[in-house]
Amino acid sequence: MKANRKFNNDEDAVSPVIGVILMVAITVILAAVIASFVFGMSSSLKKPYNIAATASQQGSTITAVFNGGPDADQVDYLNATIGSNSFSTAGTDFASNSTGSIATTTGTSGYNDHVIVVANFNDGTSQIILDTFV
């Protein structure tokens, strides 16, 4: 009889092991479902527009040039900040939104002026198209 009772005590350990395995499996499945939901949220992000601008400095004159690109027709207006001066095609500082339009200002004689050009698009979004030092 003692041997039979000892055998029953060993059988009791199977149930907690199976319970732990099931809990781990449920946790992994739950983590996968949550991850698929979270990573699925990025599908609402807009693609970046493909346009460009360049900046150069000759002496103390700094010039920012809008080079256009495949999405240039989507540009509503441009904003440029060269050193402490701001320019915009919403006003008359740039020639236009068209390829080749320029903004020019006087910078420092050393090549350390910060140039930032931001394109604002017809859909209301904006994108930095140039951030450099000249």
Assess whether 40 and 57 both reside in one domain: no
33-57 pLDDT, tens per residue? 888 888 776 666 678 899 988 888 8
Measured distance CA(112)–CA(2) in Å, rounded: 90
Assess whether 12 and 57 both reside in one domain: no
3-state secondary structure of 100: coil
pLDDT band at 30 (very low <50, low <70, confident <90, very high): very high
Reported pTM: 0.60
Range with lowest mean pLDDT among 18-32, 46-60, 62-76, 99-113: 99-113
Residues 109 and 59: beta-carbon distance below 8 Å: yes
Assess whether 72 and 107 both reside in one domain: yes
Give the chain's domain count: 2
Per-residue model confidence (pLDDT) at position 42: 60
Assess whether 121 and 60 both reside in one domain: yes
- Domain containing 18: what range? 2-44
| 85-88 vs 75-82, strand pairing mode | antiparallel
Handedness of CA 79, 80, 81, 87 (dihedral sign): negative
